[in-house]
Amino acid sequence: MGRDSAAQIDDRVLTPEPQRFEGARDAFGALARVLGSASVLVRAYRGGVPPARREAVMVAVSRSNACRGCSNVHHRWALRAGVSAEDLRSIGLGDLAALDVATRSAVVYATDRAARRFRSAADPQLTANARSRLGEAQLEQVDAVAGLIAFANLTMNTVTGALRTSRPQPRPTSAHPSFAKVWRILSSKAMSHEARRELLAGLEGTVVELGAGDGLNFRHYPSTVNRVVAIEPEPQLRSLAQQAARGLPVPTTVVDGAAEAIPGADDSYDAAVICLVLCTVPDQAQALAEIKRVLRPGGELRFYEHVAAGDRRRPIQRWLDTSGIWPRLGAGCHLSRDTLRAIRGAGFIIEEYCELESGLGRLSLPHIAGVARLPLSTP
Ligand SMILES: C[S@@+](CC[C@H](N)C(=O)[O-])C[C@H]1O[C@@H](n2cnc3c(N)ncnc32)[C@H](O)[C@@H]1O
């Protein structure tokens, strides 16, 4: 398919990296461009560009600039303006075949201009195509709309990026001596031995446990398990886990490592266990992808995790997480993660699970516990 009828956004613009201003000069230049196009924008908003097309352009440009906030807002506005969910999905995938030809040419033109940061003209073929579909006046308005949303995207990304880097970052090291001391006391209170036994009941074969802590689970593995490999990155907890692993009926080895890079070959385990760990791992998606890699097809994941509340605790949880207060207290722990969704999103089938409230004293947190399984043939 030639570029004239391009049904795909150019790969160059599908960047997952949030685009930001390169400095004050860059930002003021973009602002001046937006102000200079004010009268064209007024015409665009007064019907010069049909609202559905305008919003489709806004979503596509926001996505190409990796501005999550603008993408979400304009996604909603696009639905309201009459863009179908299917069209939005196709914009999200960068495959525009489902769009009408005029909107498609507008989107491809606008994202090309955004990729060039409006510093140079769009690809001549894309421009000619858009001009023939939209006419000169509408093309000028699409260009102004793209400039406006790109300005909003880069402003958002620049501000949020600056806030993020000014916030204290979690410690890069895996050593959390204070947390290790506290967890040693709390581990049996945060999850009872009975709940641990229940989590592990019926497991078979070779099992990998991620983030084993001080090894409280070890004694509860049933005799149907041949071998446990436990991974624990925190040195003090690892040493306690190594002590707990001694002399157990099920051979248990404790090693250093992280859930995001599990030592072991593909398909090498029958089951994986995560227990109050996906709240803490720095990269949940990567950890789940790794679990998926080392599990054999049809292998199971046993999980017990505290998760985001569905009630009025949620905004407080979110604030405690984003302010960095809770991650600091809990060595990287987060209160507001949607872990069930992440497990599903990683390609696991949730076979059974339950929701429960559990916690320490008056600090009750919503938890999920259950079994997820990989399909027998993984894509
Ligand atoms: C709340 S404790 C839970 C410990 C244990 N699973 C239990 O149930 O008692 C969280 C554990 O996750 C470990 N952890 C933190 N980041 C990790 C990572 N990226 N990969 C694996 N484990 C991690 C911590 O060192 C800690 O031992």
Per-residue pLDDT of the chain (379 residues; tens, 9 = 90+): 333 345 555 554 545 578 899 999 999 999 999 999 999 999 999 999 999 999 999 999 998 888 888 988 898 899 999 998 888 877 766 678 788 999 999 999 999 999 899 999 999 999 999 999 999 999 999 999 999 999 999 999 999 888 777 665 444 468 888 899 989 888 888 899 999 999 999 999 999 999 999 999 999 999 999 999 999 999 999 999 999 999 999 999 999 999 999 988 989 999 999 999 999 999 999 999 999 999 999 999 999 999 999 988 999 999 999 988 999 988 999 999 999 999 999 999 999 999 999 877 777 899 999 999 999 864 5
Please give the pLDDT value at position 151: 97
Distance 298 CA to ligand 1 centre (A): 25
Is the CA virtual torsion 38, 43, 46, 49 positive or negative?
negative
- Please tell me if the CB atom of residue 232 comes closer than 6 angstroms to any atom of ligand 1: yes
pLDDT of residue 167: 61
For residue 47, give both structure tokens: 């019907």
> 313: CA distance to ligand 1 center in Å?
24
Burial zone of 225 (CB within 10 Å; 0-12 exposed, 13-18 middle, 19+ buried): buried
Domains of the chain, first to last: 3-166 (1.20.1290.10), 177-373 (3.40.50.150)
Q: How far is the CA of 26 from the centre of ligand 1 (A)?
A: 43
Here the tokens at position 30 are: 């973009």
Q: Is the CB of 30 under 6 A from ligand 1?
A: no
Residues 6+ apart with CB under 8 A from 266: 293, 294
